[in-house]
Amino acid sequence: MKKVLLLILFFTTSLSAQTPKIKYWLDPEGKEIKEKVIDIISEQYPDNAMAYRKTIDSGIVYQFNAPKYSTYKVDYKFVKAEIEKITNQKYSNSAIFMIKFDYLDDSCDGLFSNTIDNEKINSIKYYDSPIKLKLEQKSDLIYLSFFEDKIILKNKPRTKNDYFFSDKNHFFRNNLFLHPTICGSFGLIKPNGETLIRNGAYRLDLMFEHLTPEIWNLFFQQ
């Protein structure tokens, strides 16, 4: 819990320093608050994540009202087919997909903007790739990083080992990742169709821990 709280505090501080367009900070009920109490709000509402939206005057509203977790029961074969279209790869029917989804206009930190160039991609991969490899080697996990359409990705998605892709048909944005939240969202999709979404700043190794039965069954009662 302390690790997650530190992540929230870090990204909130980074957000404050790098986004002068911030106009409003709201609590879950819509009441305007001071930016400095965000950490207090996050403790008061542990089941919420920081959502954001643009205003008419091009400012941004940040409100701590997105659900931290959402659960779904999906058609696994259909979702897997959509993933295969995006990645141009084929996957086993036993694959468990973990998707990191980043939203348009997210100002999480200096690594995220609506243009993700090779330098930024390599910086992210420097931290994520060793964890991705370790987790995939010991399980049926497939880790992928998807970006909302209109985010420009300057990578080579046709390269076999690349895992950064654009959600060009809006399938995942419209069906699973419904709440734009600071620093994106994670999703886990199991072959039985059970799907868990976690919104807000997080790490892929911590998301992987949700697959343990004692945690997973808290969301999907057997």
pLDDT (tens digit per residue) in 60-103: 888 999 999 999 999 999 999 999 999 999 999 999 999 999 99
The residue behind tokens 């939240």 is 181
Q: Are residues 173 and 74 in the same domain?
A: yes
Task: Say if residue 54 is in the same domain as residue 162.
Answer: no
Q: Which helix (H) or strand (E) holds 10?
A: helix 2-18
**What is the total count of domains within the chain?**
2
Among 14, 35, 67, which residue terminates a domain?
A: 67
39 in Cβ contact with 46 (< 8 Å)? no
Is residue 104 within 8 A of residue 150, CB to CB? The reply is yes
Q: Which domain holds residue 204?
A: 69-219
Reading the block at residue 213, the tokens are 């039965």
Q: Are 186 and 204 in contact (CB under 8 A)?
A: yes
The CATH code of the domain that includes 188 is 3.40.30
Do 125 and 108 lie in a common domain?
yes
Q: Are residues 56 and 103 in the same domain?
A: no
* Domain stops at, among 48, 67, 86: 67
Q: How far apart are CA 16 and CA 135, in angstroms?
A: 33
Residues 111, 45: one domain? Answer: no
> What's the pLDDT score for residue 40?
87
Residues (pLDDT < 50) of the chain are 2-20, 111
Residue 66: partners with Cβ closer than 8 Å, 6 or more residues away? 48, 49, 50, 51, 179, 180, 181, 199, 200
pLDDT in tens, 40-62: 888 999 999 999 988 777 678 88
Only one residue has tokens 């087919």, namely 81
Do 44 and 82 lie in a common domain? no
DSSP 32: B
- The pLDDT value recorded for residue 56 is 72
Q: What per-residue confidence (pLDDT) applies to 157?
A: 64
**pTM for the predicted model, two decimal places:** 0.86
Structure tokens at 140: 């049926």
Please say which residue of 38, 67, 96 terminates a domain. 67
Does 42 share its domain with 103? no
Q: Are residues 38 and 75 in the same domain?
A: no
Q: DSSP 3-state assignment of 156?
A: coil
Say if residue 129 is in the same domain as residue 35.
Answer: no
62 with 104, same domain? no
Whether 88 and 108 map to the same domain: the answer is: yes
C-beta of residue 186 within 8 angstroms of C-beta of residue 100: yes
Looking at residue 112, its pLDDT comes to: 55
Tell me: do 86 and 191 sit in the same domain.
yes
Per-residue confidence (pLDDT) for residue 23, from 0 to 100: 67
